[in-house]
Structure 1
């Protein structure tokens, strides 16, 4: 019999991981209207950054912020070299980010090979919670996700940069007329969004095999979470992650992961049909 408390912790852990991935996607799409199909590969780069850093003897807790910065710089380079020329062409941005995803994945295969590799977990001792032995590192992942979400909300709603970002989300043309430097804001947005994906990959590296395909398993659930929660809404990312993450975990525990995927897709279809603006739209009504 599956422990309900342990199952709840598993659901919370998966929700936390989805939220880490979703935050970067929401920031990029909400501000730039760019559907970033390379987000899974930025996640992948974060995991491999930790792998390389540990190979050089860098402590894990130092490797995680290094991954955030390194992948953010990769995002900055991608924006400067490709995306800034096609912001106003949505189809081209989809194709460009898809091409980026293929290029990054193949580069990883060439450099590191197709085989799976492991990152040593910084915490291995389980913690006893109400009679349930649970991974202490998974609890840390939950805490990190909460702190990242809080940091993003504080930046968006308590700083002048966040005010400019929210103005751009509401109306890019009006924000530009008000003197907001949209080029600089777009550049920073894509870089931070990529960095957040890298942070998610770095945090998840000890919990799964690090291989060139690892990012693909998180991107689709993250997109579904955003659609269910509300496109471009940071609060919607939280609600969508809760719905998709908890549904996936609970159905997988009582049936199979395949059935869980079917249920989640049906749930997303129903939500999109009856709540076209997502769960965050309910509050506006």
Structure 2
């Protein structure tokens, strides 16, 4: 029974972190129709922001708050310099952001070297849950991720800004004719999507190896989550992240990591083949 509880907690922790990255992708794609291949590198920048500030003596929790700001500003610069020039050209956005991802990784290698950076766990120790000792910081990650996901949901579905975002996603031309500044909305959307990836990388940095390749480990599952859950839907992102993250967590506990990834890919392929509109829209 203890091992079941432990696997469940690990899986839930991974699902919530994956959800933050997936939400960023969904917001950017749904709003701007941009397939951002550099999203994993924004995750990476969030982690390296924490590592850099910690090395300068900044307290960990201030580093966590600074990371999404730094990555959000980086997102504004990326949108202004690169993304806005390829709107309406999906293939060009893939190529442009893929090239950007390579450039960002090389920049990190130049600045920090190719090796991994280690970040000390800020909340050492464990908490007893249902008779199982579980790392305290993983519980902190779960709480932060759940709170951020809920905040995004409330902003999108319970505020005027969220109404404008949904209007632009539904019909950009009509939203513009009704007075919504779509250019400003695009810039803000890319910044928010980038910031979500950045804070995910920041909160995960003490738990994983911080290196130039770390973004790939979350980018691929996040894309699968978007496709499996359904495009242009925040609820679909939750369903997709739960499906991909949950399956990965459960299978990884019972088989080799590589074998688990193969099975997850096969499951995703089957879902995309038979429910191409995504699980959320397909079974509503």
TM-score interval, normalised by the smaller of the two chains: over 0.9
Offset at residue 34 of structure 1 (A): 0.2
Alignment of 1:4-83 (within 5 A): 4-83=4-83
Asked whether 1:265 is paired with 2:261, we answer: no
SS of the counterpart of 1:118? coil
- What is the distance in 1 between the residues matched to 2:85 and 2:130? 55
SS in 2 for 1:123: coil
TM-score normalized by the length of structure 1: 0.97
Distance 2:100 2:65 in 1: 23
Alignment of 1:1-285 (within 5 A): 3-282=3-282, 285=284
What secondary structure is seen at the aligned counterpart in 2 of 1:254?
Answer: coil
Per-residue deviation, residues 236-270 of structure 1 (Å, max 9, x unmatched): 11111111111111111111111111111111111
Q: Post-superposition shift, 1:282?
A: 3.6
Counterpart secondary structure, 1:3: helix
Paired residues of 2:37 and 2:97 also in contact (CA < 8 A): yes
Deviation for aligned residue 1:73: 0.2
SS of the residue corresponding to residue 277 of structure 2 reads coil
SS of residue matched to 2:123: coil
Deviation above 6 Å: which 4+ runs of structure 1? none
Structure 2 residues not aligned, in runs of 5+: none
Q: Give the count of matched residue pairs.
A: 284
Q: In the TM superposition, what whole-angstrom CA distance separates every residue of 1:140-173 from its partner, at most 9, and x where no partner exists?
A: 1111111111111111011111001001111112
Deviates more, 1:246-255 or 1:44-53: 246-255
Helix, strand or coil at the partner of 2:206: helix
State the alpha-carbon separation in 1 of the partners of residues 247 and 275 from structure 2: 18
5+ residue gaps, structure 1, are none
- Looking at structure 2, the residues matched to 222 and 2 of structure 1 have their Cα atoms a distance apart, in angstroms, of 29
Q: Which one is further off, 94-103 or 271-280?
A: 271-280
Determine helix, strand or coil for the equivalent of 2:211: coil
SS in 2 for 1:180: coil
Q: TM-score, normalised by structure 2?
A: 0.98
Secondary structure (helix, strand or coil) at the match of 1:91 reads helix
CA-atom RMSD, angstroms?
1.1
The Cα shift of 1:2 comes to 7.0
How far has the Cα of 1:79 moved from its partner? 0.6
